[in-house]
Structures are given as C-alpha cells and as structure tokens.
Structure 1
Amino acid sequence: MKNLLAATAATAIMAGSAFAGGHAKEVKLGVILGFTGPIESLTPSMADGAELAMKEVTDSGLLLDSATVSSVRADSTCVDAGAANAAAERLITADKVDGIVGADCSGVTGSILTNVALPNGTVMVSPSATSPGLSHGNNEDNGLFFRTSPSDARQGVVITQILLDQGIKEVAVTYTNNDYGKGLSDAFQAAYEAAGGSVTINTAHEDGKADYSAEVASLASAGGDRLVVAGYVDQGGSGIVRAALDSGAFDTFHFPDGMISAKLLENFGTEIDGSSGAHPSPSDELSEAFANHVGGAFDSSSPFTPESYDAAALIMLAMQAANSKDSADYKGKVMDVANAPGEKIGVGELAKALQIIKDGGEVDYVGATGVELIGPGEAAGNYREINFDGGKDNTAGFR
C-alpha cells in the first residue's frame, strides 16, 4: 500500500498545471503529523489513513477537473512549535498545498493555525488535536480550522463516567506539561469533582527524562485508587508508568487517548491488567467497515487513523461542493458536507459522494467515524472504552 501511495503521489506531481477558478489537474494536501516525537508510533497509520482517502478520490477521477490528489508529508514533531511552524510554512509556500490534514498534538496545531494557516488563509482539519483551547469561533479562526476528534472537554466527562462506574472515587493525575496535557487534566478534574470524585493531586511531568521516580513519589504521597496518566505513550507517560510499577506506588492506571497504542501493550503487557482507558473511536460497525476498506494495508484500529481518513475526505468533498480547491472558496462547505441534509456517505463511498455533488445533490458524510460537526467545526465524538486484561486492550463498550 505504501509503495502504491507513493507511486500515486509521484504521478500526481507530474500532472498538469492549475486552471482558473480554483480548478486543477492536481490537488496537493499537506499531512503534518509528529513522525518524530512522543506519539511517533501512532502517526504512520494516521498518515496512511489520510492518504487512502486521497487515493480513493484520485482513482475516481471525479474531483474537480479529474484532479489527482497527492500527499506532501511534514513533521510537526508534536512538541516543537518552531519546527512545526517552519514545516507548515514550507508546505504552503514551497509545496503549494491546497489544504492541511493536521496537525496532531494540540500545542503545535494551535501554533500552526495562528502563525501559518491564518496568515495564509489555508484550511486545516486536525484528526487528533483535542485541547479545549482550540474550540475557536469562526471569527477567531476565520472559519479555517476543523477537527474530526472531539474536544477533551468531552473526554474529561467520559473518563469520569468510566472511573465512577468502576467504583473509583479517588485518583491522582499526572499530565504532560503542554496544552494537551493541561487542558485534558483540567477538564477531567472539573468533571470528576463535580460528579463527586476526589483528585488527590494534579501535577505536570516533563517529557524526555530518564528517571521519573521523584514525580511518582509525589503522586504516591498524595495517594489514590488509580493513577490517571494524561501523557504520551512514546515519552514521559510510559516513564511514569514504569516508575510507578517498579516502586509499587500504583498498579492500575487510566490511560487517555495519548497513551493508547500497540506500544503501550508492548511496553507493559500484563503489568497493567486491571487498568482502564479510552480514546475517540467509531462504533464496532463503523470500525469493521473501515477495517474492511483498509484490507490489512495498515493498522486501521490505531487511534486517530479513521479520523485521519475523515479529515482528508472532508477537505476533498468540500472542494467538490465549492467547485474549487481554494481554501477561501471551500472552507464554507466543510460543515455542509459533514452534516445533514443529504445522502449519507460511508467509508469507501467517496466516489459516490463526489458524483452526487457534481450532479447538484447534497451529501451527509458519515465516513469512518460517524462524522458530525457541531459549531463551529467541532466533532461531536464517540469514545471506545477499554479494559486491560491478559496483556490485551479489550473493548468494554462505547460512550
């Protein structure tokens, strides 16, 4: 699949020049994700998901003037705003992308939006930036920013429900010291305490450290029935868990979305049995449909991978609805194609959607995750609840 996608991109780069009115024989979409950094184990599948949608549209020959769609990848690093801004600037000014899938982590996403996308008038659809601080109104982001994952204000409520349903009424919280971690930990604490739970400590940890014993000692001193780790699986989050297990400070945890990946099980296996977790995810029915469409080419169940497919799909359908690849023209169509009224469009049905729009009809894009955008540009969201048992992450249900 990767070779095929690369070949598609190479073919697209040799395609013809742009025409008037935002039409083109080539559409370029930037895919800016943390290919290095604290979630690097998640981003390859995310990019593959976005590029699968691009290939599907290219193969249909129905977008605008039978345009091919190519992907231009760039590294957000997830944590270095300067590097992320520079990468996004290159996408727009050098690579001439027509829209951006990304970024991934909330801090760099907000920085790119403010410093690059807004000044250049470029649409961004993030599959995974979940900070409540990104819930801008249209006047603040000029209608350019959307996301296919729900805000962490919603995740805070979901974590609260999971823990209280399991009888966990007192927890300690540690979070990665950035916009994502702080936003999620604050949202969770507010929801949990409002529902009658008690947070014994809510404290930051820095990524990149070799030893987290001091942080774990503080968490252990405060106590709690479970440790909520709002961190990154490829960075300090796993360091905190290892130190907690080795010291005996905590033996069960709750893992929010930044911690959920195959890497978590690889790192800890049965050591985290009895723990809980959650991440934005489609229903079983939608997950199965996406898996069938992917056909084993990459890990369709990896967090934010279906959301990445949907992010790319929304951009391309909005272009078709506007009859233009210019952000200024199609930004106002994203909400239209994402929501009712219109014919419901599932995963793998992008050609059908493009034809309906071309014929003057309307679509209601459901996609891989049950897309529903609430104003402005926010995903309503659905979460997969996980329990860890036998060294596996088992689906407990959806919320």
Structure 2
Amino acid sequence: MLVSRGSRAATVTACAALLLATSACGSDKPGGATTTTQVRLYGSDGNMLNSFATELKDRAGLVNGMKGTTPLTQLPENFKGRLRTVDPKLTDYLYSAETYDAVVISALAAQLAGTTDPAAITKQIVGVTTNGERCEDPATCLQLARQGRDIEYRGVSLTRAGFTDAGEPATASYATLNFDDQKIDDGKTEFVGAGDESAASTKTPPRAKKQRAGEKAKDAPLILGGLLPQTGDLALANPPMAAGAALGIKDVNAAGGVLGKPVLWIDGDDGTNPDVAKRTVASHIGRGVQVIIGAGASGISRAVLPDVVAAGRVLFSPSNTAAELTTVDDKGLYFRTAPPDSLQGRALADVILRDGPHKIAIVARKDSYGEGLQENVRAELERAGMGADQMKLLTYVPPADAKAPPVDFSGGAKEIKDFGADAVLIIGFGESAHVVTALADAGVQIRH
C-alpha cells in the first residue's frame, strides 16, 4: 500500500544520515564496515513481465529480487482462464484487460452512435464510461445500448471511475511486482489505487440511437485494426494484448455484434518502430478501419497520431502511459485505457522508498515514455525529500529495429558504479535487459 509522504521523507532522511557505511542503509558486512554497495534493481511496466527474464537468456538469474510497478487490476481468475482459451501459452497478463476494454468500449460507442463514422464514435467514447446505467459485460451493455439507453461501462480494467474529458482513466490500479526464481512471484504482488474519481467527465454525450429489431446500419460493420507490438522492443508485451483484443471481439460478436453485424478485426504490427507503424496505419486506412487499437508504445502513438488525425480515424491505445499524451493535439480522436505516468510515477517512487535508498540512478530509454516516467519519478522522489545530489538520471537510445546493434550501456554502468548508487530504476522494454547485464559486467553488485 502507499506510504505517506511524511514517512517516506523520514525514511530517506534517516538513511542519508547513516551513510553508505552503515548496515542499515545497505552495507553487506556486519559491524558497518565499508564495502562495495549492493544495488537493488527496479523496473516499470515495460519490463516487469515474466518474458523479460528470457531476454537475459543464460543470465536470467540477474533479475531475481528486481521489483517494480505496472498498471494492473487484480484480474479475476475467470478472465485469465478465458484469455488462455485464446492463447494457451499465455504467461503474462499485462495490458490484457486494458486491450479488452478498449475493444468493448469502441464497440459500445459505435452502437450508441448508431453509425461506424469515427467522428460520431468519438463523441460517445467518454460517455460510455460515465453517468449512465451501470453494466459490466458486453452482452448486457450492448442490449442497453440497442435500446437507446445511456450506459456506464465498468469492465475488467475500468472498475472505479470512468474517463476524464481527455479520454483516459480518472483512476487506476497498480501492482507491485517482484521477480523471484526468474519469474514474477504472484504471492508477493500487492495492488494499490491511484487517481481521483472526481476527475471523471460529467459531460453529457449525444443521445443514443435506438436500434429497431433486425435493423442493420448502412455503414456497418465496425472494423477495428490492431496496431500492437508484434515485433520490436515491446514484442514481449504483445501476447496478453493480442489475447485481450481477440477475447473482446469474441465476446462482442457472441452478444450479437454492433449495429446488426459482427465486428471485424484486422491484425497489424506497430513494430515498436515509427516507420513500421505508419505503414500499418496507412494499410488500415485503406481497408476502411474506423478505430485503430494501439499503438503499444507512447512514442509510436505520438508518431502516427498526425496520420490518424488527418484521415479522421480513432486511435485507442490500451498501453500508452506517457503523461504528455493527455494534452496532445489529437482533434478529439485519441483515447487510452492505460493511466498516465503522472500516476505511475507516484506508485513507483513509493515502492523504491520503502527500501530506504540514499542514492538512486534512474535509467530510461530515450523517448516520450522513458523520459516522461523518469521525470515523474524524479519529481516524486524530490517531494519525498531526496536531494538532487542523491539522484542520477541517465538515458539510452533504443535500437531502431531488430537489425540494429543492441543497447551498449557500458559507459552508463560505470557512471552508476562510480556514483555509488544503491538503487537503480530501469525504465524500458525488452532492450533494457542489456542495461542489467552491463551493470553486472561493470562490477555492480546486484542485490538478489
């Protein structure tokens, strides 16, 4: 659970006073003898996955003891089981619920609008989640929507409050995750809430269009296009998102579809690469896709958004967390079910401060997601009492594509060792495994 700012500040101050040589703040020898500092590793939503350990191959044991946060609701076992019917090999569930809800909300918005016109759909998306008749599954919600009744969808990830006027969750749930034996130890997972329910939109959407029995809209079907990270640095997060999308489509169509016809899904890769994503977006536009589900990474959504806006389509991401996207110029066409990192930064800072570190290195991939979350965490640590001299901020340029050389963080690893950090937060995707191995190769003693 979250600790108060006062207690966090007290922890930091106490440990700073004891200094590195004392056993209370990380000495690995009894009696307070000076020794090489052991470093605790921390991660964020892009690398706190079971699949991250496999990125380290025969050095997977380096992640044991690593902890971090991710936007995650305590998922019902029934939902996990239904995801596994779509993908029996599924081992992670990160953003599966957010993807499922993005698909369902898009379908409900089109049904309420009475058309698949993207401009009309956008006017219903926020209203689907606020100030209406509560419903919690696609079948019930679609039945109400067909009757022209205002609804308030509460799904798997969207449980406490609806969307803000900006088209993102007003509240969020975060999980504190721990690596043990080269995988996430579910027994140690804790869930904490963040955000403010009063931030949810109070605006009234346009009146819903009632659908007569047997009536089919002239512009149906609704076509959703995937823009998910099938390849690239974020590919390790694709399986749960793909499963969530497939299950959402399955449930909507089992409930009768939208506007009298089944919803169609067209697969698409964002490649964790702007060029790949732009080609996919162009293909979707050419094939009549009205709502694009993605992209996986915030920076990729930022890169393709001008193309989406120019074509008058909807971009709806289940996993973008960069805070800057809250105010991006999107002409009202961008939405997300993932909460902004202004919320995650606070949860992540709390996790780190529980361990009482006195020197923290924050390493981030150089893009809107990495640098944005890095700044959010830095600001939260500063509010808790950490001084600028107790923090070191570093970035790395992620590989452009799969053919590019891997991240070389040897120089940064040496800086961290010389700095004497006893905590290292790594904000990245699969490529950040090379940051972990670089730290070990530089002689940084990782605490397990």
Q: TM-score range by the shorter chain?
A: 0.5 to 0.7
| Aligned with 2:397 (options 206, 213, 218) | 206
Counterpart residue number, 2:248: 53
CA contact (8 A) 2:345 2:380 kept: yes
Within-5 A mapping of 1:41-120: 41-65=236-260, 67-78=261-272, 80-93=273-286, 95-113=287-305, 115-120=306-311
| Cα distance in 2 for residues equivalent to 1:21 and 1:128 | 26
Amino acid at match of 1:218: E
Say whether residues 1:218 and 2:410 are aligned partners. Answer: no
Identity within the alignment, %: 27
| Cα distance in 2 for residues equivalent to 1:210 and 1:163 | 25
| Aligned with 2:223 (options 28, 36, 45) | 28
Say whether residues 1:134 and 2:325 are aligned partners. Answer: yes
| Cα distance in 2 for residues equivalent to 1:227 and 1:250 | 11
Aligned to 1:129, what secondary structure does the other structure show?
coil
CA contact (8 A) 1:31 1:74 kept: yes
Question: Root-mean-square deviation (CA), in Å?
Answer: 2.2
Question: What is the CA-CA distance between 1:211 and the residue it aligns to?
Answer: 3.9
| Cα distance in 1 for residues equivalent to 2:277 and 2:441 | 35
Question: What is the CA-CA distance between 1:219 and the residue it aligns to?
Answer: 1.7
Aligned residues: 230
Amino acid at match of 2:278: N
CA contact (8 A) 2:360 2:425 kept: yes
Query: CA 1:188–1:2 in structure 2 vs 1: closer, same or farther (change >3 Å)?
Result: same
Q: Residue by residue, what CA displacement relative to the aligned partner does 1:132-184 show, whole Å, maximum 9, x if unpaired?
A: 111126xx322211111111111111111111222123211111111111111
| Cα distance in 2 for residues equivalent to 1:86 and 1:44 | 21
CA contact (8 A) 2:249 2:265 kept: yes
Q: Residue by residue, what CA displacement relative to the aligned partner does 1:195-239 show, whole Å, maximum 9, x if unpaired?
A: 11244310111224364322211121222211010111x21x100
| Aligned with 1:123 (options 306, 314, 322) | 314
| Cα distance in 2 for residues equivalent to 1:166 and 1:92 | 49
| Aligned with 1:231 (options 416, 423, 428) | 428
CA contact (8 A) 1:126 1:146 kept: yes
| Cα distance in 1 for residues equivalent to 2:301 and 2:420 | 34
Within-5 A mapping of 1:164-175: 164-175=353-364
Amino acid at match of 2:363: T
Query: CA 1:129–1:210 in structure 2 vs 1: closer, same or farther (change >3 Å)?
Result: closer
Counterpart residue number, 1:188: 377
| Aligned with 2:349 (options 139, 155, 160) | 160
Q: Residue by residue, what CA displacement relative to the aligned partner does 1:298-329 show, whole Å, maximum 9, x if unpaired?
A: xxxxxxxxxxxxxxxxxxxxxxxxxxxxxxxx
CA contact (8 A) 1:227 1:250 kept: no
Counterpart residue number, 1:340: none
Amino acid at match of 1:81: P
Question: What is the CA-CA distance between 1:247 and the residue it aligns to?
Answer: 3.1
Say whether residues 1:243 and 2:438 are aligned partners. Answer: yes
Question: What is the CA-CA distance between 1:105 and the residue it aligns to?
Answer: 0.4
| Cα distance in 2 for residues equivalent to 1:112 and 1:63 | 27
Runs of 4+ in 1 over 4 A off after TM superposition: 1-4
Question: What is the CA-CA distance between 1:21 and the residue it aligns to?
Answer: 4.8
Question: What is the CA-CA distance between 1:111 and the residue it aligns to?
Answer: 1.5
Query: CA 1:250–1:69 in structure 2 vs 1: closer, same or farther (change >3 Å)?
Result: farther
Q: Residue by residue, what CA displacement relative to the aligned partner does 1:38-63 show, whole Å, maximum 9, x if unpaired?
A: 11111122011012111111111152
Structure 1: state its 5+ residue gaps: 5-19, 253-272, 274-399
Question: What is the CA-CA distance between 1:2 and the residue it aligns to?
Answer: 5.1
| Cα distance in 2 for residues equivalent to 1:183 and 1:126 | 17
TM-score (normalised: structure 2): 0.48
| Cα distance in 2 for residues equivalent to 1:175 and 1:250 | 20
Aligned to 2:339, what secondary structure does the other structure show?
coil
Aligned to 2:344, what secondary structure does the other structure show?
helix
CA contact (8 A) 1:32 1:74 kept: yes
CA contact (8 A) 1:54 1:69 kept: yes
Q: Residue by residue, what CA displacement relative to the aligned partner does 1:258-296 show, whole Å, maximum 9, x if unpaired?
A: xxxxxxxxxxxxxxx3xxxxxxxxxxxxxxxxxxxxxxx
Structure 2: state its 5+ residue gaps: 1-84, 89-113, 117-216, 400-405
CA contact (8 A) 1:131 1:180 kept: yes
Amino acid at match of 1:238: A
| Cα distance in 2 for residues equivalent to 1:225 and 1:147 | 35
Aligned to 2:296, what secondary structure does the other structure show?
coil
Aligned to 2:268, what secondary structure does the other structure show?
strand
Aligned to 1:125, what secondary structure does the other structure show?
strand
CA contact (8 A) 1:106 1:129 kept: yes
| Cα distance in 2 for residues equivalent to 1:21 and 1:225 | 56
